Structures are given as C-alpha cells and as structure tokens.
Amino acid sequence: MMCLRELSWGVLALLVSTSLAWADPVAQVVKLSGNVEVTRGAASAPLVLGAALEPGDRLKTDASSRVRVQLIDGSIINLGSESELSIENVVSAGPGTDRQVGLDLWLGALRAFAAPATSKSRFEIRTPRAITAVRGTEWGILANAVQSDVLVLSGRVGVRKNEVSGVSATTLTRTLGVTVTDQGLGQITRWNEAQVAALMAATEVPGPERGFDLGTAPALDLAPAAKPVAPDNEQGKSKPGKQNCPDPDTFSCKRRDRDRGQTHEHDNDNNHEHDSNGGNT
C-alpha cells in the first residue's frame, strides 16, 4: 500500500510537471564565475548574473566556471567546475515556510546550504548513485556515473542508494561521509581536514555577489540548444543522455524518458532511516 508521504510527493511532482509551461521563477543566480550554460527545454543560453531560473532548467559549468544559485526558500547551492545540475522542482512560499525541493546533480561537485523550514518540508538532491535528504544545514556531494561521495559539514543528512527501493539508509552528522556505488552504501568514515578543505575549495564560487531580487532579473538570450552527443557507456554504467537503457528503472533512463515526454514516478523510500550507529532516527 502506498504510504501518505509517497502519495503527497507524487501528487506534488505531478502538479509541478504539468505546470512547467507557465512556471514561475524558483531560483536566481547570485554569484557567477566564468562561462556557465543553462538549458531550458530545447533552448540554451550563457548564464548571466541575476538570471532567474525555472523548474526544468539545467546548468552546466566548464573547467573554469562556477555558479551560486539561491532558491526562493533562501537555500543556497554552490556548483563547482565541470558539473551539471537540474532544477527539478522547488515549491515554497518563502523562507521558514513549507517547502518541497528536488535537484538532480548529474556530475561534479556541489555544496548546499539548506535554509530553515518546517518539519513537513522535503529537500532532496539526487545523483546517479545516491539520494540525499536534508536534515540539517550544510553538506557537499561529489558525483560521477560510478559513485557519489557525500559529506555533512553541519546538521544531519539522510543518504540512501538511488534507483532501488527497500534498501537501508543512513543519517550522517558533522564531518561524516559515505561513498555510494551501484553496490550500495559503503562504510561511514570521518573525513579529515584535508578532505574537507578539498571539497570546500572545489565548491567555492569567487567574485561579487548580488542580492536576491527576481523583480530585477535580466532576460536570458535563449537559442536552440545543440543536439547532445551520447557519452560512452564506461564499464556498463548508464549515464544521462545514453540512447540505450539496459534497465528502464535507472535514474538516467527515467530522466531520458521524461525529456522525451513520458511520465515516470520517482522511486520512494519506504524504509526507516538509520543513524550512523545503525539505529532508527
């Protein structure tokens, strides 16, 4: 039987997906370094400081660019170099209210600062290998097609393997990290100062910062996007954009099918989370 939480999240996702044609902005670029590309539907454009972002927008940084995005609930996302992030949905009436946030980190480095919200709120960042659900303030993710490394800098973050329901989850606290692969969650470890510093450096965005004000957001010069080239399928791992999907239930294939106009529901976690010592939270 589908639980109430699953039903509520599914209904919300459906409402968001059916409203994309007239979606209001849900985020803004408040800091920008280098050339960052945004893709919206079939069009793309260079990102500019102050640009408003909508559900479905996909950001891509190159080797010398980074970007900071502020969501309408006050949360901050730092995206490092050579990274790709999709804004799936952001529903909030503003800081301190109920919120529902879903972001997809396809590749690269990300650091998130979750603004305070109500206990009914949900804030998830998904990668090809993991789903992180915020329980605290600040955390970082390093992701590629093979594995995802998750580190909590403050507060608590729940982590579970993507694509598979019925698996155990864990809750990380400050300086605890875990690597997630297609085999599941690895051993929880405490990151040392050098590892933490490396993540911080990889997700720091240089340059001036502007205030959050969607009313003064500049327009994007959107043009038809170039047709993406499917990446090689290294070691048999499916990636976003791959044409042949050996397993239609994978994260990558669901996103591909969604982009083709098909509707798929996200897998939901029906299990109790466990803390780093294996107990229920």
pLDDT of amino acid 134: 84
Instruction: Please check whether residue 186 lies inside any domain of the structure.
Output: yes
Number of folded domains that form the chain: 1
* Residue 185: CATH number of its domain: 2.60.120.1440
Which is more confident, 103 or 274? 103
pLDDT of amino acid 242: 38
Instruction: Please check whether residue 140 lies inside any domain of the structure.
Output: yes
Instruction: Please check whether residue 208 lies inside any domain of the structure.
Output: yes
In DSSP terms, 274 is beta-bridged to 170, 280
pLDDT of amino acid 169: 86
- Contacts with 167 (C-beta within 8 Å, 6 or more apart), sequence order: 160, 161, 184, 271
Going by pLDDT thresholds of 50, 70 and 90, the confidence category of residue 238 is very low
- pLDDT tens digits for range 67-93: 999 999 999 999 999 999 999 999 998
Instruction: Please check whether residue 281 lies inside any domain of the structure.
Output: no
224: containing domain: 4-274
Handedness of CA 211, 212, 218, 222 (dihedral sign): positive
Instruction: Please check whether residue 280 lies inside any domain of the structure.
Output: no
Instruction: Please check whether residue 279 lies inside any domain of the structure.
Output: no
Pair of tokens at residue 86: 């999709």
Instruction: Please check whether residue 17 lies inside any domain of the structure.
Output: yes
Report the C-alpha gap between 126 and 148 in whole angstroms: 10
Number of H helices, E strands in the chain: 3, 20
